[in-house]
């Protein structure tokens, strides 16, 4: 122990930690040098006073041994995900305490394989050319010498015990080192190849000097990470053909690969192997571990004048390239790496972030930050609480996932919010209705998974039919109402509306039953006061409707009972009418289980055919016998253009009376009640009105 070095007290220890906290670039080993000599001793949770966050961070970033921790800076540790000020302080305090204990136990700074004086004499830090071991005449000794050099410089070995134990801390070994050891064991005694393991700041410069004048082609085409240089461009700048540049590139590449196997450049091969082991198949360029791995690989090496040191080391390590901020080894793409990670994930509904990290490591992505997880969570969605849920397939598939996660009934609006993909509520409702995996639980739009075994709600009418069948052909309406309120949350008024207005049912007092085929459904067939409804002399039926947003959206619309009667549509029936001159057809239907009466199907195609816009009026003329429907725009100007009824001058009232099925004298009153004032204004003035106008005109003349 140096004479001035004393045991560190509690106050000194705390002061050292505070100094380190204020100096982010401080190296842990400089402040606590005894840690370097603790070999492969692991940092325990007890050492960290139970700080699991600090313990996990040290393990994830491969600094779980004291000697590895000694190589880190304060800034490097603080940049690790999940390490905050508290965890950093725990790590520094543990380092200070272990350093103190190591000195107490007698570990001396001078107990390294080489003394401080020897290290200074060998110009370890800045010497132009440092030979740690001299050349050996025996190939076996040469192999051992190379291994010892690697163990000291690359693995931090301090004693011969560290070297020959071949612990996990020493592995894995670069292939070049394994090959060298194998060759050393096979070489006959007496052969004496020289040993040239060099640690030199200008080793990269010497490397490219060995390649020769074509090294710049290798640099521009192969080594520079962001190079866009083509063979053609290089050929133009040198006055050579593309093929000649390719030949020179191949020659320089082969020479460079051979030099990486040359013992003189073993250091470069070691650094490349270490970098490859640290980065793996892919790594984010901005991660702290990527930077620390590159910093470790570049130590005591100067860059080539025309080649960035990091670019060279990454090329030697695995011909890495950059894609969207990621380092990717040769042959890998970000897409294939993400797919590989996805394939290694557990095949279950939910996973946690640890599952993602393990799958990434299994795929070769060993340097993954928490903020990078979404990139590799293919077909997964983060739902909080460190949980990722499988998120793939159709909207129906995702709806099933939401139900499984929530574990309870949901209405389609709630489900749409959970899915969150911008679909309309009606779209979600249609998906749930059409997919057999889901059942409806009530009129309000509540749904659940069929697999849960809950009672399915099939609509008020169908539920009434099933209740009638269970009752042997009839049921008490009051009992049905009470049952539906309890089971489905349906209001009593809704049940009464179906019982009294749906043609499928007959209500006799409190008893409800199905209507028999011989029991006609009676309804009002008077058409006189139905707006826009006319019949022609040919028994064709004319209806009018206004184009609105519902029409343009493709929605159907109600059809008056009288209109359905004229066209021949009765409860439980439907008919299709073709539109001459087009491939369009129009469906008219009347569901006997619906209290809403008959309906006219979507007329959007007809509106598009006529070029109609919001606010226009369309006239449809139905030929019930021929099953055709002729559409036209209804326009002002004449009775015919407005109504489709041919009206002869002088007989307009009679013509309209026939078309409206009323008396001549009732036409004006009927048009007024229909709200067809534009038609009313086109009728000729009554004779009494003419006489009154003449009297008023005469009075006005006298006044003037």
* Domain range list for the chain: 10-111, 133-197, 200-330, 334-392, 458-518, 534-680
pLDDT above 60: residue 697:
no
For residue 456, is pLDDT > 90?
no
Which residues are CB-contacts of 86 (< 8 A; sequence separation ≥ 6)? 51, 53
Measured between alpha carbons, how far is 612 from 610 in angstroms, rounded to an integer? 5
Q: What is the pLDDT of residue 110?
A: 35
Q: Which residue has the higher pLDDT, 476 or 167?
A: 476
Task: State how far the Cα of 377 lies from the Cα of 387, in Å rounded to an integer.
Answer: 11
Which pLDDT value is given to residue 544? 95
DSSP 8-state assignment for residue 510: T
Summarised one tens digit per residue, pLDDT across range 525-562 is 999 999 999 999 999 999 999 999 999 988 888 999 99
Q: Which residues pair with 384 in a beta bridge?
A: 387
Kindly report the number of other CB atoms within 10 A of residue 472's CB atom.
Answer: 7
Residue 410: DSSP 8-state: E
Please count the residues of the chain: 704
d(CA 217, CA 227) in angstroms, rounded, equals 11
On whether the CB atoms of residues 512 and 468 are closer than 8 A, the answer is yes
Q: What is the spatial distance between Cα 481 and Cα 622, in angstroms, rounded to a whole number?
A: 41
Indicate if the pLDDT at residue 464 is higher than 80. Answer: yes
Local confidence band at 511 (pLDDT 50, 70, 90 cut-offs): very high
Name the residue with higher pLDDT: 104 or 131.
Answer: 104
Nearest-angstrom CA–CA distance, 208 and 210: 5
13 compared with 414, residue with greater pLDDT: 414
Measure the CA–CA gap between 541 and 558, rounded to whole angstroms.
16
528/659 Cα distance (integer angstroms)? 9
Helix, strand and coil percent figures for the chain, each rounded to 5: 50, 15, 40
Mean pLDDT of 135-151: 61
- Average pLDDT score, the chain: 81
Q: What are phi and psi of 59, to 5 degrees?
A: -70, -45
Q: How many helices (H) and strands (E) does the chain have?
A: 34, 22
User: Would you state the pLDDT for residue 655?
Assistant: 94
Q: Would the pLDDT of 293 be above 90?
A: no
Which of helix, strand or coil describes residue 519? coil
- CA dist., res. 443 & res. 155, Å (int): 72
CATH architecture of 458-518: Orthogonal Bundle (1.10)
Q: What is the DSSP string of 186-227?
A: HSPTT--PPP--EE-TTHHHHHHHHH-TTHHHHIIIII-TT-
For residue 231, name the pLDDT band (cuts at 50, 70, 90). confident
Structure tokens at 69: 């921790």
E runs forming strands in 489-538? 505-508, 511-514, 534-535
First to last CA, the chain: 132
Q: How far is CA 39 from the centre of its chain?
A: 45
* pLDDT computed for residue 443 by the predictor: 67
Q: What is the pLDDT of residue 687?
A: 64
Distance CA 141, CA 153 (A): 18
Mean predicted confidence (pLDDT) in 614-630:
95
Q: What's the CA gap between 366 and 362, in Å, rounded?
A: 8
Cβ–Cβ < 8 Å for 146, 177: yes
Q: Is 476 helix (H, G, I), strand (E, B) or coil?
A: strand
Collapse the DSSP code of 631 into the 3-class scheme (helix H, G, I; strand E, B; otherwise coil) and give the result: strand
Cross-strand bridge partners of residue 578: 585, 628
Sign of CA dihedral 440, 442, 448, 449: negative
Share of the chain above pLDDT 70, in %: 83
pTM above 0.75, yes or no: no
Backbone φ and ψ of 143, nearest 5°: -65, -45
pLDDT at 590 over 50: yes
C-alpha 170/C-alpha 67 separation (Å) is 13
Number of alpha carbons in the 13 Å side-chain half-sphere of residue 630 = 8
Strands 130-131 and 198-199, how do they pair?
antiparallel
Cα 570 from Cα 550, distance rounded (Å): 25
Domain formed by 534-680, architecture: Beta Barrel (2.40)
Among 74-88, 186-200, 471-485, 570-584, name the one with the lowest average pLDDT: 186-200
CA 503 to CA 589: how far, in whole Å? 13
CA distances from 432 to 84, 107, 336, 648 (A): 47, 73, 35, 56
- Closest-CA residue to 67 (of 33, 109, 35, 30): 35
CA 49, 54, 60, 66 torsion-angle sign? negative
Res. 7 pLDDT band, cuts 50 70 90: very low
Q: pLDDT digit string (tens) for 467-480?
A: 999 999 999 999 99
Q: pLDDT, tens digit, for every residue of 90-127?
A: 999 999 898 888 877 654 443 333 334 433 443 333 33
pLDDT of residue 571: 93
SS3 state at 619: strand
């Amino acid at each position: 122990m140096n004479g001035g070095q004393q045991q560190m007290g509690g106050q000194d220890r705390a002061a050292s930690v505070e100094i380190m906290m204020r100096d982010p670039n401080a190296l842990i080993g400089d402040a606590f040098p005894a840690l370097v000599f603790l070999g492969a001793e692991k940092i325990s949770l007890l050492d960290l006073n139970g700080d699991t966050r600090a313990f996990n961070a040290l393990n994830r970033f491969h600094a779980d041994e004291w000697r590895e921790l000694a190589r880190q800076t304060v800034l490097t540790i603080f940049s690790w995900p999940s390490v905050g000020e508290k965890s950093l302080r725990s790590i520094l305090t543990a380092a200070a305490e272990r350093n103190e204990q190591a000195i107490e136990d007698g570990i001396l700074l001078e107990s390294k394989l080489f003394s401080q004086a020897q290290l200074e004499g060998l110009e370890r830090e800045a010497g132009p050319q440092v030979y740690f071991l001299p050349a050996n005449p025996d190939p076996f000794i040469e192999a051992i010498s190379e291994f010892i050099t690697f163990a000291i410089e690359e693995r931090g070995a301090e004693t011969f015990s560290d070297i020959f134990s071949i612990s996990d801390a020493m592995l894995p070994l670069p292939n070049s080192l394994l090959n060298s050891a194998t060759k050393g064991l096979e070489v006959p005694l007496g052969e004496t190849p020289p040993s040239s393991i060099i640690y030199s700041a200008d080793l990269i410069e010497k490397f490219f000097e060995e390649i020769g004048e074509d090294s710049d082609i290798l640099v521009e085409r192969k080594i520079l990470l962001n190079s866009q240089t083509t063979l053609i461009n290089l050929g133009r700048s040198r006055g050579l053909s593309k093929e000649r540049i390719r030949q020179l590139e191949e020659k320089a590449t082969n020479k460079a690969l051979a030099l990486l196997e040359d013992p003189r450049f073993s250091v470069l091969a070691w650094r490349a192997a270490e970098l490859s082991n640290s980065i793996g198949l892919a790594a984010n360029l901005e991660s702290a571990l990527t930077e620390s791995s590159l910093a470790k690989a570049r130590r005591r090496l100067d860059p080539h004048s025309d080649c960035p040191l990091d670019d060279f080391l990454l090329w030697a390590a695995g011909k890495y390239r950059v894609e969207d901020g990621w380092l990717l080894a040769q042959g890998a793409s970000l897409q294939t790496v993400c797919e590989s990670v996805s394939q290694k994930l557990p095949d279950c509904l939910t996973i946690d972030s640890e599952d993602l990290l393990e799958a990434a490591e299994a795929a070769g992505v060993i340097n993954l930050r928490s903020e990078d997880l979404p990139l590799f969570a293919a077909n997964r969605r983060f739902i909080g609480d460190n949980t990722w849920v499988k998120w793939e397939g159709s909207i129906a598939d995702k709806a099933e996932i939401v139900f499984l996660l929530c574990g309870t009934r949901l209405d389609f609006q709630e489900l749409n919010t959970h899915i969150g993909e911008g679909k309309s509520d009606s779209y979600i409702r249609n998906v749930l209705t059409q997919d057999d995996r889901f059942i409806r639980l009530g009129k309000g739009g509540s749904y659940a998974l069929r697999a849960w075994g809950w009672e399915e709600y099939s609509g008020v009418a169908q539920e009434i039919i099933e209740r009638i069948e269970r009752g042997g052909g009839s049921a008490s309406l009051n009992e049905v109402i009470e049952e539906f309120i309890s089971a489905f949350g349906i209001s009593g008024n809704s049940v009464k509306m179906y019982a009294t207005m749906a043609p499928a049912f007959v209500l006799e007092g409190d008893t409800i039953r199905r209507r028999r085929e011989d029991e006609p459904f009676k309804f009002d067939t008077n058409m006189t006061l139905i707006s826009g409804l006319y019949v022609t002399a040919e028994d064709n039926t004319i209806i009018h409707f206004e184009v609105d947003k519902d029409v343009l959206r493709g929605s159907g619309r109600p059809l008056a009972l009288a209109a359905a009667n004229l066209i021949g549509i009765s409860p439980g029936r439907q008919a299709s009418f073709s539109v001459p001159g087009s491939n369009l057809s129009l469906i008219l239907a009347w569901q006997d289980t619906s209290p809403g009466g008959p309906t006219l199907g979507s007329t959007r195609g007809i509106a598009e055919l006529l070029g109609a816009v919001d606010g226009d009026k369309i006239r449809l003329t139905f030929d019930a016998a021929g099953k055709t429907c002729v559409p036209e725009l209804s326009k002002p100007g004449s009775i015919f253009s407005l109504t489709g009824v041919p009206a002869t001058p002088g007989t307009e009232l009679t013509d309209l009376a026939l078309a409206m099925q009323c008396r001549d004298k009732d036409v004006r009153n009927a048009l007024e009640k229909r709200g067809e004032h534009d038609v009313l204004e086109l009728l000729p003035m009554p004779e009494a009105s003419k006489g009154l106008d003449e009297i008023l005109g005469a009075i006005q003349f006298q006044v003037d």
